[in-house]
């Protein structure tokens, strides 16, 4: 496929660089809301279905936080307790995480965040897959972020997850944390015209200036992906492979349909 079309690199790669991302309105809007919350030491929430681009939005926004001013604390959530979250925080802060004492983990994390603030850096806690967190963890996250009776916003928090994340934040015990939310973004799929631009953009960064997808193929990718960019990438790449096998220089809707039988 790569040699047939003349790509200079693999198209529709999942490890695309931040400066090569296609700037949809949803992506830019999510970044603006995240940075706004960070600057105020508050909480920002991103929701969307699996494959809608939440992790990409986190990468995009994080790239604007210069390491001289910000200390990023990345966490991949699970269904475990707050201790599992604190251990990931401790590892990111390069402090002792080899024990299971909640009080000790909480104390050392807060001390480390305070020391970072003294160096004129702001710690930013970014939790991906936050919809997996237990309800009780949200109340404890609020406790981690409180410093001197909330007079010092030293730990803005970014939460990204599926749509049920909002339901968990509406729970009574989660309200202290939810009250700090000032930026909410919901990532929806691109319109058909945006999908055409998205496909063209990815072809260009892979070295091809022509639009290899017919209008019918673009519609098929848009409909077949359900607006989910991860699935759109798989469909686009699979249909390119199918077209190359048939020695076709233009991807058709049938190529997209055939590619769709290979993915879930």
pLDDT band at 152 (very low <50, low <70, confident <90, very high): low
As beta bridge partners, residue 74 has 126
Mean pLDDT, rounded, for 175-200: 90
Q: What is the number of domains present in the chain? A: 2
As beta bridge partners, residue 213 has 251
Residue 64 belongs to a domain = yes
* Pair (34, 67) in one structural domain: yes
What domain range includes position 139? 25-186
Tell the residue number behind the tokens 């809608």, with chain if given: 52
Instruction: Check residue 155 and give left, alpha or beta (phi > 0: left; psi -120 to 50: alpha).
Output: beta
* Pair (127, 255) in one structural domain: no
Give pTM, 2 decimals: 0.89
Q: What is the pLDDT of residue 150?
A: 53
Q: What is the pLDDT of residue 72?
A: 97
* Pair (239, 142) in one structural domain: no
Q: What is the pLDDT of residue 148?
A: 58
Residues 6+ apart with CB under 8 A from 87: 97, 105
Report yes or no: 240 and 224 within 8 Å, Cβ to Cβ: no
Residues 6+ apart with CB under 8 A from 67: none
DSSP 207: T
Q: What is the rounded distance in angstroms from the CA atom of residue 132 to the CA atom of residue 134?
A: 7
Residue 172 belongs to a domain = yes
* Pair (209, 145) in one structural domain: no
């Amino acid at each position: 496929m790569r040699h047939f079309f003349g790509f200079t690199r693999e198209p529709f790669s999942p490890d695309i660089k931040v400066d090569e991302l296609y700037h949809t309105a949803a992506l830019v809007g999510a970044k603006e809301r995240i940075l706004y919350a960070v600057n105020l030491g508050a909480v920002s929430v991103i929701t969307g279905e699996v494959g809608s681009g939440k992790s990409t939005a986190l990468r995009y926004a994080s790239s604007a936080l210069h390491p001289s001013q910000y200390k990023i604390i990345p966490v991949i959530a699970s269904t475990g307790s707050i201790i599992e979250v604190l251990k990931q925080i401790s590892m990111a802060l390069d402090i002792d995480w080899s024990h299971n004492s909640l009080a000790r983990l909480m104390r050392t994390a807060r001390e480390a965040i305070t020391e970072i603030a003294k160096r004129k850096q702001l710690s930013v806690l970014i939790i991906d897959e936050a919809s997996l967190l237990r309800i009780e963890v949200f109340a404890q996250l609020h406790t981690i972020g409180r410093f001197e009776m909330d007079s010092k916003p030293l730990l803005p928090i970014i939460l990204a997850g599926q749509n049920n994340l909002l339901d968990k934040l509406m729970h009574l015990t989660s309200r202290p944390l939810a009250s700090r939310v000032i930026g909410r973004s919901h990532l929806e799929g691109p319109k058909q015209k945006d999908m055409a631009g998205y496909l063209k953009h990815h072809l260009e960064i892979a070295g091809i200036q022509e639009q290899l997808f017919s209008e019918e193929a673009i519609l098929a990718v848009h409909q077949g992906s359900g607006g989910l960019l991860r699935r759109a990438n798989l469909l686009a790449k699979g249909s390119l492979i199918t077209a190359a096998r048939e020695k076709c220089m233009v991807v058709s809707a049938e190529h997209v349909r055939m590619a769709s039988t290979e993915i879930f």
